Amino acid sequence: MYRQEASTEVSDNFSSVIVDVPRASSCETAAVRTKTLSGSKPPSTALWALRRLICFFAILTVMVFALNAMITSGLRRIKTSQYGAWNQMMDGKINARIVITGSSRAASHYDPRIIAATAGRSAFNLGRNGSQTDMQVAVLKAYLEHNQKPEIVVHNLDAFTFETSHEVYAFAQYVPYLYDNEIYAPLRKITPDTWKSRYVPLYGYVVDDMNFSWMLGIRGFFGWSPKGDFFQGFDPRLKPWTDDFDSFRASNPNGVSWPIEPEGIQVMEDLARLCQERGIQLIFVYSPEYIEMQKLTNNRAEVFGHFHELAARYHVPLWDYSDWSYAADTQYFTNSQHLNAQGAKLFSEDIASRLQQYISAQASSNADLRVAH
């Protein structure tokens, strides 16, 4: 930079060209009209220029709002994938008699088609990837707001059930539905900035999403829906066993302890009360978890103690599949937390028949009660 050698001067007028930067010789005369401080009034063309600028930005604003509306509308038209599941729920088109709620474990473990076929009742899976109990309950509330109440809610438990959301995973999935207060209020509680996604056009689609969901929206607007990989909310995992768990174990050789937050317990109590108030039978299910991961969880007994205490207090059945027949077989898992499609099929058959027995038992118990009366 400092040598005074004659270097090849590459003609480079980029900056001045692309932005019409006035050159040094002409800047005084052309662009930056400088005058003495006596304060001459701006020329009458200033008003014209201002009008033009306002006009341009007004058009731009309209385009931005229009694009936002187009994306939202497109996403809400999608009939398949995660958005399809959302849309069915928010449009009140599900009205299932058995509803499954929970995290990604719920989404990928319960096949409503198998459950419906065995239990003889329509079923739908409301499991949400990356969600904690607070958002799972929010989704259930939104469901109840738009659909007829189910007979049974199967709430899938996780070791991290008592940890509340500290950030929102895959935020873009919620953006088309932010005008629904059941969704908006809990999101706002987790991320106060959520208002920006609700009121600033495109904000939710571009700032909080790295997955180009807005492209899905544009395509959806023109009638295109992505490949159907969700089946009544069920999101099967097609991958075989990965090395995720080995990496996890290597980085946590002394095991892990999941937080038990008072707010997390409160949310579970809210869920139990909500179902009680609405006359919905709630069932807690701890779906299969890879056996080695169970050993790695240091406070598993404590977590389960809370599950049992909650279940007893609210008279909720608790079905624990920790010792599922295939819990030690990686052939049925994608990683320690998630069954693969093959495992999900086996588990869905198990849970479906247990549900069917439970419903029958409930029905006969009700009949006995009626006779006794």
Partner 1 sequence: MLFNSIEFAIFFPAVVAMYFLSPQRLRVGLLLTASCFFYMAFIPAYILILFFTILIDYVAGIYIEKVEGPKKKAFLVVSIVSTCVVLFIFKYFGFFTSSFEGLAGLFGWPVPHYVLKIILPIGLSFHTFQSLSYVIEVYRGKQRAERDFIVYATYVMFFPQLVAGPIERPQNLLHQFREWHEFDYGNVTSGLKRMGWGFFKKLVVADRLALYVNDVYAAPRGHNGLQLTIATVFFAYQIYCDFSGYSDIAIGAAQVLGFRLMENFRTPYYSLSISEFWHRWHISLSTWFKDYLYIPLGGSRVSKRRHIANLLITFGISGLWHGANWTYVWWGLLNGSYLVMGSLTKSWRDRLFSAVGLHDRSFIRKAIMLLSTFILTCFAWIIFRAHSMGDAVYVATHLFSGWDFGNIKTPQFLLRQMPVALASILALEVGQLLARRKTPFNVLGKMPVSARWAAYAAFVILVVMFGIYQNRQFIYFQF
Selected range binding partner 1 among 121-129, 131-139, 207-215, 255-263, rule: CB under 8 A: 207-215
User: Does the footprint of partner 1 cover residue 7 (CB under 8 A)?
Assistant: yes
Selected range binding partner 1 among 78-86, 127-135, 197-205, 233-241, rule: CB under 8 A: 197-205
User: Does the footprint of partner 1 cover residue 42 (CB under 8 A)?
Assistant: yes
Q: How far is the CB of 33 from partner 1 (least distance, A)?
A: 5
Of 341, 251, 324, 264, the C-alpha closest to 289 is 324
Of 141, 132, 134, 143, the C-alpha closest to 85 is 143
User: Does the footprint of partner 1 cover residue 1 (CB under 8 A)?
Assistant: yes
339, β-bridge pairs: 333
Terminal Cα-to-Cα distance of the chain (whole angstroms): 98
User: Does the footprint of partner 1 cover residue 11 (CB under 8 A)?
Assistant: yes
153, β-bridge pairs: 99, 282
d(CA 134, CA 62): 36
Residue found by looking up tokens 């009209």 in the block: 33
- Identify which of residues 7 and 254 has a Cβ nearer to partner 1 in the complex: 7
- Identify which of residues 207 and 260 has a Cβ nearer to partner 1 in the complex: 207
- Sheet of 98-101, strands arranged across: 123-125, 98-101, 152-156, 281-286, 318-320
Q: How far is the CB of 209 from partner 1 (least distance, A)?
A: 9
Selected range binding partner 1 among 3-11, 105-113, 260-268, 271-279, rule: CB under 8 A: 3-11
- Identify which of residues 48 and 224 has a Cβ nearer to partner 1 in the complex: 48
157 phi, psi to nearest 5 deg: -95, 155
User: Does the footprint of partner 1 cover residue 227 (CB under 8 A)?
Assistant: no
CB-based contact 216:74 (threshold 8 Å):
yes
d(CA 132, CA 73): 27
User: Does the footprint of partner 1 cover residue 49 (CB under 8 A)?
Assistant: yes
Report CA-CA distances (Å) from 67 to 167, 215, 231. Answer: 27, 11, 30
- Identify which of residues 239 and 315 has a Cβ nearer to partner 1 in the complex: 239
| Identified binder of partner 1 from the candidate list 46, 185, 328, 367, rule CB under 8 A | 46
Q: How far is the CB of 68 from partner 1 (least distance, A)?
A: 11
- Identify which of residues 250 and 371 has a Cβ nearer to partner 1 in the complex: 250
Q: How far is the CB of 31 from partner 1 (least distance, A)?
A: 5
User: Does the footprint of partner 1 cover residue 44 (CB under 8 A)?
Assistant: no
Report CA-CA distances (Å) from 45 to 30, 42, 49, 64. Answer: 15, 8, 6, 28
d(CA 99, CA 92): 14
105 phi, psi to nearest 5 deg: -65, -40
d(CA 85, CA 88): 5
User: Does the footprint of partner 1 cover residue 166 (CB under 8 A)?
Assistant: no
CB-based contact 321:288 (threshold 8 Å):
yes
For residue 230, the Cα-to-chain-centroid distance in whole angstroms is 14
User: Does the footprint of partner 1 cover residue 167 (CB under 8 A)?
Assistant: no
User: Does the footprint of partner 1 cover residue 254 (CB under 8 A)?
Assistant: no
Selected range binding partner 1 among 24-32, 107-115, 173-181, 266-274, rule: CB under 8 A: 24-32
Q: How far is the CB of 81 from partner 1 (least distance, A)?
A: 15
Q: How far is the CB of 204 from partner 1 (least distance, A)?
A: 11
Selected range binding partner 1 among 46-54, 234-242, 282-290, 296-304, rule: CB under 8 A: 46-54
Q: Which amino acid is at 364?
A: S
Binding site for partner 1 (CB under 8 A): 1-5, 7-8, 10-22, 27, 30-37, 39-40, 42-43, 45-46, 48-50, 52-53, 56, 59-60, 63-64, 67, 196, 200, 202-203, 205-208, 210-212, 214
